[in-house]
Amino acid sequence: MAQVVTSHRGPVTGTATHKRKKRPFLLDLYSTAVGKKYVMGITGVAMMGFVLFHMIGNLKMYAGAAGLDHYAHFLQTLLYPLAPKGWVLWILRGGLISMLFLHLHAAWSLTRLNRHARPMKYQSKRDYQIANFASRTMRWTGIIVLAFLVWHLLDLTFGVVNSETGKMITHPGDEESVKAVYASIVYSFQRTPVAFFYVVANILLGIHLFHGAWSIFQSFGLNNPRFNSWTRAFATGFASIVVIGNVSFPIAVMAGIVG
């Protein structure tokens, strides 16, 4: 009797077995590695802008308590009375949270995509000369900076680990009281382990920023070797400015320059 041969083979990869649903263009782009790299780049640039301006704003600390507290108050009442107090700040916060979420999601799904493309680890020793120290450490510097951010918010925004955060102060010449931000920073950095944690976390942030700033040019296809020295100078300059500024704050408090 003739035997019926049945094939259990699935369709060849890429065979159209059903009509694909059309997705919006941006979602379609995001499903590709290039799209995810764009998202990492754009959200990275936005957050680079934030850390730079955050550091510049915090330099007001050197102008004394009133200078910094008034600056924080200015941010909290941005566009007032055009917009109710605090609204613009919350919109900016919303943008920042979305950027952080997208950056993390793109990083996570790019890692998954890479693992999928190469499920086995390389068997031979890799030549890591091309991938420098900063690029190999992106994941863990990112995770530590994220942990720092959680502590930082509990410390200086929500005051869960800082009894001075949220207190109000009326500076000489003022009619209304403002949030005593300066006092809460000084209180925070007078705790030596906390100050050290800020220093270490900000150095790691610098390493992350250095490679991030450098990678943006690659993500957007602007890595022409002719401009390599420029891109390196930009990444080095940007990361150094942010780190030097940020690290100076805990050091200034520990040294008694600010207090």
Binding flag, residue 186, ligand HEM (CB under 6 A): no
What is the full DSSP assignment across 132-146? Answer: -HHHHTHHHHHHHHH
Give ∠ CA 65-189-45 in degrees, rounded to 5. 85
Q: In whole angstroms, what is the distance from residue 195 CA to residue 231 CA?
A: 32
Burial grade of 129 (CB within 10 A; 0-12, 13-18, 19 or more) = exposed
Q: Which range of residues in 9-17, 102-110, 168-176, 198-206 is near ligand HEM by CB under 6 A?
A: 198-206
How many other CB atoms are found less than 10 A from the CB of residue 156?
18
Cβ atoms of 71 and 55 within 8 Å: the answer is no
Binding flag, residue 181, ligand HEM (CB under 6 A): yes
Please count the residues of this chain forming the interface with ligand HEM, following the rule CB under 6 A.
21
Binding flag, residue 239, ligand HEM (CB under 6 A): no
Q: Which range of residues in 33-41, 108-116, 178-186, 221-229 is near ligand HEM by CB under 6 A?
A: 178-186
Binding mask 158-177 for ligand HEM (x = CB under 6 A): --------------------
Binding flag, residue 54, ligand HEM (CB under 6 A): yes
Q: Least distance in Å: CB of 156 to ligand HEM?
A: 4
Nearest Cα to 168, choosing from 181, 157, 155?
181
* Contact residues: ligand HEM, CB under 6 A: 51, 54, 58, 72, 89, 93, 145, 149, 152-153, 156-157, 179, 181, 185, 198, 202, 205, 246, 249-250
